[in-house]
């Protein structure tokens, strides 16, 4: 286990390993195993990533008990009718090699998504003990209102793109007000943080990498970041962000970056 303290948000480890585009089975399993051996205890995947079986292999190969891993996956938009949620989730469990997940997300409020129909299946899985927490992804405040109304169980988390160029202030305010955790994907803006002068300047001040600064900034905002990483070097570098303590001046500088852009913007996104 690493020398760093591992912050948690409502029991969820506040830094995870993302697996989007980690499609080579051996590489994916190895990166998950490596992350867990380094100290990570939060692993994020999704049906559409096509790697749930490899993620499960990596967890099995690591010298970590399954119950010590916070495992999250997501139901794709074509599987969001009530019955399809239940059926496809059983397939996900089989691929992951587990009988439960810690967090199950609606991946997007799109295609087959209907709040009442979809989330009634999530409530059923929650009541059956097959999921510990219910989450949604890429939801805006109006969708969160609708989901909270439809659910019997608590809405635990909303996963969205979040980084210094898309700080999601409105969603951070909303989720804090309603006791919902905010999980940030693409926290390095798909590598754009490495070329930003402000982030580089703060990184030099702390003898840290730009990635570590972006992740430390997210942590200061109360956000759980799940950076994608495949190589051991990047996995360890991201983990090192837990040892970076930004001061208020650093946060103010990063908050002042005059740049707003999305890296993930499909036609079916709710803001389009």
Q: What tens-digit pLDDT sequence spans the chain (272 residues)?
A: 456 788 999 999 999 999 999 989 999 999 999 999 999 999 999 999 999 999 999 999 999 999 999 999 999 999 999 999 999 999 999 999 999 999 999 999 999 999 999 999 999 999 999 999 999 999 999 999 999 999 999 999 999 999 999 999 999 999 999 999 999 999 999 999 999 999 999 999 999 999 999 999 999 999 999 999 999 999 999 999 999 999 999 999 999 999 999 999 999 999 99
219-254: burial string, b at 16+ Cβ within 10 Å, e else: bbbebbbbbbbbeeebbebbbbbbebebeeebeebb
Q: What pLDDT does residue 5 have?
A: 80
- DSSP, res 165: T
Q: How far apart are CA 37 and CA 63, in angstroms?
A: 7
Q: Which residues make Cβ contacts (< 8 Å) with residue 208, sequence separation at least 6?
A: 216, 240, 241, 244
List the catalytic residues: 49
Please answer whether residues 108 and 74 qualify as being in contact, where contact means their C-beta atoms are separated by less than 8 angstroms: no
**Signed CA dihedral, 202, 204, 209, 212: sign only:** negative
Which pLDDT score, from 0 to 100, does residue 35 have? 98
pLDDT of residue 3: 63
- For residues 111 and 141, the answer to whether their CB atoms sit within 8 Å is no
Residue 31 buriedness (CB in 10 A; 0-12 / 13-18 / 19+): buried
What pLDDT shows up at residue 4?
73
Measured CA to CA, the distance from residue 124 to residue 118 in angstroms comes to 10
Q: State residue 223's pLDDT score.
A: 98
- Give this prediction's pTM: 0.96
Contact 262, 166 (CB under 8 A): yes
């Amino acid at each position: 286990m690493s020398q760093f303290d591992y912050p948690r948000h409502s029991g969820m480890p506040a830094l995870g390993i993302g697996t989007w585009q980690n499609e080579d089975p051996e590489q994916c399993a190895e990166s998950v195993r490596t992350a867990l051996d380094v100290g990570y205890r939060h692993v994020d995947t999704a049906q559409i990533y096509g790697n749930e079986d490899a993620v499960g292999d990596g967890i099995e190969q690591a010298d970590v008990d399954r119950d010590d891993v916070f495992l999250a996956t997501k139901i794709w938009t074509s599987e969001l009718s009530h019955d399809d949620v239940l059926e496809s989730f059983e397939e996900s469990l089989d691929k992951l090699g587990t009988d439960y997940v810690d967090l199950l997300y609606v991946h997007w409020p799109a295609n087959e998504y209907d709040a009442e129909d979809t989330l009634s299946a999530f409530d059923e899985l929650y009541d059956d003990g097959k999921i510990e927490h219910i989450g949604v992804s890429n939801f805006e405040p109006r969708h969160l209102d609708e989901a909270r109304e439809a659910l019997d169980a608590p809405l635990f988390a909303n996963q969205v793109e979040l980084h210094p160029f898309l700080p999601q202030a409105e969603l951070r305010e909303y989720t804090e007000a309603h006791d919902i955790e905010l999980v940030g994907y693409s926290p390095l803006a798909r590598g754009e943080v490495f070329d930003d002068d402000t982030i580089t300047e703060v990184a030099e001040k702390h003898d840290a990498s730009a990635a570590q600064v972006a992740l430390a900034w997210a942590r200061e905002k109360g956000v759980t970041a799940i950076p994608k990483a495949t190589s051991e070097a990047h996995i360890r570098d991201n983990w090192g962000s837990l040892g970076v303590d930004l001061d208020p001046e650093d946060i103010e500088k990063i908050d002042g970056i005059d740049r707003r852009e999305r890296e993930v913007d499909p036609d079916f996104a709710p803001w389009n």
